[in-house]
A and B are shown apart, each in its own frame.
Chain A
Amino acid sequence: MTELVRMMGIDKHFPGVHALKSVQFDLVSGEVHALMGENGAGKSTLMKVMSGIYQPDGGSISVAGKTVTINGPRAAQDLGIGIIHQELALMNDLTVAQNIFIGREPRLRFGRLDEASLNAQAEAIFAAMKVRIDPRAEVRSLSVAKQQMVEIAKALSFKSSILIMDEPTAALNDAETNELFTIIRQLKSEGVGVVYISHKMDEIKRISDRVTVMRDGAYIGTVQAKDTPINTIISMMVGRELEAVHVEIPDLSNAPMALEVKGLNRGRLVRNVSFTLKQGEILGFAGLMGAGRTEVARAIFGADKRESGEILVHGKPTQIRTPKDAVAAGIGYLSEDRKHFGLALGLDLRDNIAMASLPRFGNSFGVIDDAKLGATADGYIKTLSIRTPSARQELRLLSGGNQQKVVIAKWLLRDCDILIFDEPTRGIDVGAKAEIYKLLQSLAAQGKAVIVISAELPEVLRLSHRIAVMCEGRLTGILPGGPATSQEEIMHLATLRTDEPTGAIA
């Protein structure tokens, strides 16, 4: 095994932040080296240094034994370093092949493009990856998983010997993740070194050889993945041992009904969905990607028009045609994409908390009572333990977990007693996850009715009092929460298709 990269004593300052404190990292050929740490630990920054996007303030980098300066993405590419960014860096309006070869288009004379060769080369890469993607398809038309594959193909097209993957499975389902791992193993066998950033412990165990942990911009240590228990890695990440958890399921037999959904239909992904939810209950929604969980939530919330179905809130039939109706009925929806739908990142914390309830803070002339607003925001900062210097902090400067808490505060302030959480811990690090879980449980204990949609089964199992499982738009079953239910049972329901296709055609 030859050494591909060695980074020594890397230092990086941003205004007001010491992002990397003398960090070291190395990668040898044919290994998957996982880089772990909570959000803000400095993993992405370190990888941006390696791929030439940031310039380090101190330290040295050597590639294949030679000290180098990587002064831009181009230089990194020339050294055989490819990176797949966490936020997909694709151009939606261009085709797959055009994306892969952006900046290196095969050219004819006079700057003309050789489109045929472009597509052929892309096709060759996909053939080697054993992935079926049409190089001429517009990237916009692909699923997130396919887009991920395009990113990988792009990195491979550089003949990269070093491949950095920043949370590549964040949006992939299990089957897609398996596909990705097959490709990673193949790359390994060809001698490529892979840097793998992920929050998912099971993945780390499955795919990586070594694990390096970072915390608060500092290097903590490197361990062999195979012989190190997960809890050790987690404690390295958070700096403390995690307590074991068990689900406490309250007795809700006398609790009043909060929400009843009968025969809900919308399109292909919501088909005759009926369920009930009691006050104080946490109902988990499990299922594979594209099973229709988010679509059910959106239909209930009035964000998408439903074709048929009845919604009863606190026992009364309620007409919900728009999100405004839903909010008026006390239903809050916390979307999976906080940045796009839930929050105004450029505004400060208190304005975000008040956004849905602003008229309440205005007098009859619409002038806002700042003192009252501030006091309310401070109250939520305390009760939800949002970590922020002040209520005046701009939201984009908060971590994902704290942003999630702000969304929760926003809906609590709006007097919502039915809260639908769509992927509440996506992109949130391990420590903050536990806090969000605690928060959801305490909300339920206060009598709020909670729906949690999650693609991560352990999360569903850990939180839910009951578990609703969906497959292809249908509710295939509702299981009890707690230790009575196993992941296998859920997976069975999640793959329970009505019309089983005959034969082995996928």
Chain B
Amino acid sequence: MTTAPALSAKAKPKANGAQQKLWAFASLIVLLLFFSVASPNFMQTSNILAILQATSVNGVLAIAATLVIITGGIDLSVGTLMTFTAVIAGVVLTYAGLPFAVGVVAAVAAGAGCGLISGTLVAKMKVPPFIATLGMMLILKGLSLVISGTKPIYFNDTPGFDQISTGSFVGAIIPAVPLPNGVLILFLLALAIGYVLNRTVLGRYCFALGSNEEAVRLSGVNADGWKMAIYALAGGICGIAGLIIASRLNSAQPALGLGYELDAIAAVVIGGTSLAGGRGSVLGTIIGALIMSVLLNGLRIMSVAQEWQTVVTGSIIIIAVYADMMRRRRLS
């Protein structure tokens, strides 16, 4: 047993991964450069912050979707779950008048709870993830409307609630960088979940389940339990997204959320995570989410007609995934 081969062997997969992320990042840079040249209004601090702000909610949802997709599943309920947790925060803070922290905990806990229900349906009752989360998506949309009384719930009585998304902790320290807190939360969450995926038992089982669930089971691992835990974690993350969007709009909008799951899944896929499971990264997802919002913002800044914006976005999704597949094929 020597450590020398260990060190030399370590370099290879790392280099591969780094190369992949470099590509994704390069694409993002190319987009940024392109729009900077195309319009003088694009590359200004306020617009960059607007892009980041626009990424915060989709980015957080996409992180949740990434976890589930790596296990080989899919979560269609992230959008309406986000709304549901926002409504829960509204009920706790505005209707019940409980302290700020209780609202935050309630939203995240509600998210985790709903995720656990999805996870139980998928892992224990063997309902296909597509169906289980489609059901949850509709249930949560309905419950959001029921609980809120079909009206937006405003957070006017909770001072500081809007700071979750729109305030700037960073700006208070470095006035030149007024990074909104919603974006800060996105980045911190990305770091945390990236760590969880790569360095913890939960993350390891996440990849293992997506790679070969039967093998995990046969290895004597409590596969169902871990899967439920992953769905619950994803749900909790949706709760964070719920807080960010509620803070940004200073209200819980009960009718919102449908369709957001597709944006999240698109970001995940652009980021190179395989829908077949077993492969993926949070960094890729964040870059995917950024690519989507940079693209949309840039097209708007260039005053591209709205009907063409969606055509271009759709094309970019296909091109991105196709290019990624081609590159992988060349490598293998």
**Does chain A touch chain B in the assembled complex, meaning CB atoms less than 8 Å apart?**
yes
A interface, CB within 8 angstroms of B: 53, 72-74, 76-77, 83, 85, 89-95, 98-99, 102-103, 105, 107, 110-113, 115, 119-120, 123-124, 127, 134-138, 154
- Per a CB cutoff under 8 Å, which of A72, A92, A94, A95 touches B220? A72
A73-B220, A113-B199, A119-B6 known; A93 and B215 CB under 8 Å? Answer: no
Give chain A residues whose Cβ lies under 8 Å from the Cβ of B5: 123, 134
Cross-chain contact B9 with A136 (CB below 8 angstroms): yes
A94–B9 touching, CB < 8 Å: no
Residues A111 and B201 in contact in the complex (CB < 8 Å), given A74-B220, A89-B218, A136-B10: yes
B: interface residue count bin = 20 to 34
- Verify A76–B13 contact, CB threshold 8 A: no
Interface string of B15-43 (1 = CB under 8 A from A): 00000000000000000000000000000
Q: Which B residue's beta carbon lies closest to that of A136? A: B9
Contact check, B201 vs A105: say whether CB atoms are below 8 A apart: yes
Q: Which residues of B contact A134 (CB under 8 A)?
A: 5, 9
Q: A123-B6, A124-B1 are in contact. Are A93 and B210 (CB under 8 A)?
A: yes
Shortest Cβ gap from B210 to chain A (Å): 7
CB <8 Å contact, A89 and B201: no
Query: With A and B bound together, what is the CA distance between A105 and B199 in angstroms?
Result: 11
Return 22 A-B CB contacts under 8 Å, by A number: A73-B219, A76-B220, A83-B218, A89-B218, A91-B208, A91-B212, A91-B215, A91-B216, A92-B211, A92-B278, A93-B211, A94-B207, A98-B204, A102-B216, A105-B204, A113-B200, A113-B204, A119-B6, A120-B3, A134-B9, A136-B6, A137-B9
Q: Nearest Cβ distance between residue B198 and chain A, in whole angstroms?
A: 8
Q: Output the residue of A95, A113, A127 with the most chain B CB within 10 A.
A: A113
A53 with B218, Cβ < 8 A, contacts A90-B212, A93-B279, A127-B1 known: yes
Taken together as a complex, chains A and B put the C-alpha atoms of A85 and B216 apart, in Å, by: 13
Give Cα A103–Cα B12 distance, bound, in whole angstroms. Answer: 25
Contact A91 B218 (CB under 8 A): no
Interface residues of B in 182-219 (CB under 8 A from A): 199-205, 207-208, 210-212, 214-219
Q: Is the CB of B212 within 8 A of A113?
A: no
> Whole-angstrom distance between the alpha carbons of A102 and B203 in the complex?
12
B221 within 8 A of A: yes
Closest to A73 in B: B220
Q: Using A92-B278, A112-B199 as known contacts, say yes or no to A77 and B207 having CB atoms under 8 A apart.
A: no
- Are the C-beta atoms of A93 and B1 separated by less than 8 Å? no
Nearest CB in chain A: distance from B219 CB, A: 5
Residues of chain A within 8 A (CB-CB) of B202 are 111
In the assembly, what is the distance between CA of A98 and CA of B214, in Å? 16
A105 to B6, CA, bound (A): 18
Q: Which of B9, B203, B207 lies in contact with A93, CB distance below 8 A?
A: B207
The interface residues of chain B lying within 8 Å CB-to-CB of A105 are: 201, 204
| A-B residue pairs, 3 tightest by C-beta | A91-B211, A93-B278, A74-B220
Contact A89 B220 (CB under 8 A): no
Report how far A247 CA is from B218 CA in the complex, Å: 44
* Main SS class of interface, A: mixed
- Please give, as numbers and ranges, the residues of chain A lying within 8 Å of B211 by CB-CB distance: 91-94
Pick from B201, B208, B221: contact of A107, CB below 8 A: B201
Considering the complex, give the chain B residue whose CB is closest to the CB of A102: B219
Residues from chain B with a CB closer than 8 A to the CB of A83 are 218
Q: Once bound together, how far apart are the Cα atoms of A113 and B210, in whole Å?
A: 19
Q: How far is B14's CA from A115's CA once the two chains are assembled, in angstroms?
A: 14
Closest A residue to B203 by beta carbon equals A113
**Cβ of A85 and Cβ of B207 under 8 Å apart?**
no
Contact of A120 among B1, B200, B201, B210 (CB under 8 A): B1
A83 to B219, CA, bound (A): 9
Q: Name the residue in A90, A102, A134 with the highest tally of chain B Cβ atoms < 10 Å from its Cβ.
A: A102
Known: A73-B220, A90-B212, A119-B6. 17 other contacts (CB 8 A): A53-B218, A85-B218, A89-B212, A91-B211, A93-B278, A93-B279, A94-B207, A94-B208, A95-B13, A99-B215, A105-B204, A120-B6, A123-B5, A123-B6, A136-B6, A137-B9, A154-B219
CA distance A120 to B6 in the complex (A): 8
Chain B residue numbers with a CB within 8 Å of A123 are 1, 5-6
Q: Which residue of A lies closest to B211 (CB)?
A: A91
> What residues on B are CB-neighbors of A113 within 8 Å?
199-201, 203-204
Name A95's closest neighbour in chain B (CB-CB): B13
A375 shortest CB reach to chain B, Å: 37
Contact B215 A90 (CB under 8 A): yes
A102 to B220 alpha-carbon distance, docked (Å): 9
**Neighbouring B residues of A85 by C-beta, 8 Å:** 218
User: Which residues of B have CB within 8 Å of A107?
Assistant: 201
Within 8 Å by CB of A103, from B207, B214, B220, lies: B220
CA of A138 to CA of B207, assembled, Å: 12
Determine which of B10, B199, B205, B214 lies in contact with A89 in the assembled complex, contact meaning CB atoms within 8 Å: B214
Q: Which residues of A contact B208 (CB under 8 A)?
A: 91, 94, 98, 102
For A94, list chain B residues within 8 Å (CB).
204, 207-208, 211
The residue that B217 contacts in the complex, of A73, A77, A92, A112, with Cβ under 8 A, is: A73
Contact B278 A91 (CB under 8 A): yes
Q: Smallest distance from the beta carbon of A78 to chain B beta carbons, Å?
A: 9
Contact indicator A91/B207 (Cβ below 8 Å): yes
Q: Which residue of B lies closest to A85 (CB)?
A: B218
Q: Do residues A92 and B212 form an inter-chain contact, with CB atoms below 8 A?
A: yes
The answer on a CB contact under 8 Å between A73 and B218 is: yes
Distance from B319 Cβ to chain A, minimum over Cβ atoms (Å): 25
How far does the Cβ of B279 sit from chain A's closest Cβ, in whole Å? Answer: 5
Residue of A nearest to B274 (CB): A93
Q: Please give the distance in Å from B199's CB to the nearest CB on chain A.
A: 5
Q: Which A residues are CB-close (under 8 A) to B13?
A: 95, 136-138
Residues on A with beta carbons closer than 8 Å to the beta carbon of B215? 89-91, 99, 102
Residues of B within 8 A of A93 (CB): 207, 210-211, 278-279
Tell which of B205, B212, B214, B220 touches A77, judged by Cβ atoms closer than 8 Å: B220
Provide the bound-state CA to CA distance between A92 and B200, in Å.
Answer: 19
Chain A proximity of B234: nearest CB distance (Å): 17
Q: How far is the CA of A113 from the CA of B12 in the complex (A)?
A: 20
CA distance A110 to B195 in the complex (A): 12
Bound CA–CA A145/B212 (angstroms): 19
A72: chain B residues at CB < 8 Å are 220
- Complex CA–CA separation, A113 to B3 (angstroms): 19
Distance, CA A92 to CA B208, complexed state (A): 8
Chain B nearest CB from A85 CB (Å) reads 7
**A93 to B208 Cα, complex, angstroms:** 7
Which of chain A's residues have a CB closer than 8 A to the CB of B219? 73, 89, 102-103, 154
Most-contacted residue by chain A among B1, B204, B205 (CB, 10 A)? B204
- A115 pairs with B199, CB closer than 8 A: yes
CB closest chain-A residue, reference B277 = A93
**Complex CA distance for A77 and B217, rounded to whole angstroms:** 13
A120 to B201 alpha-carbon distance, docked (Å): 18
Residues of A within 8 A of B217 (CB): 73
* Cβ distance B104 to chain A, nearest Cβ, rounded Å: 22
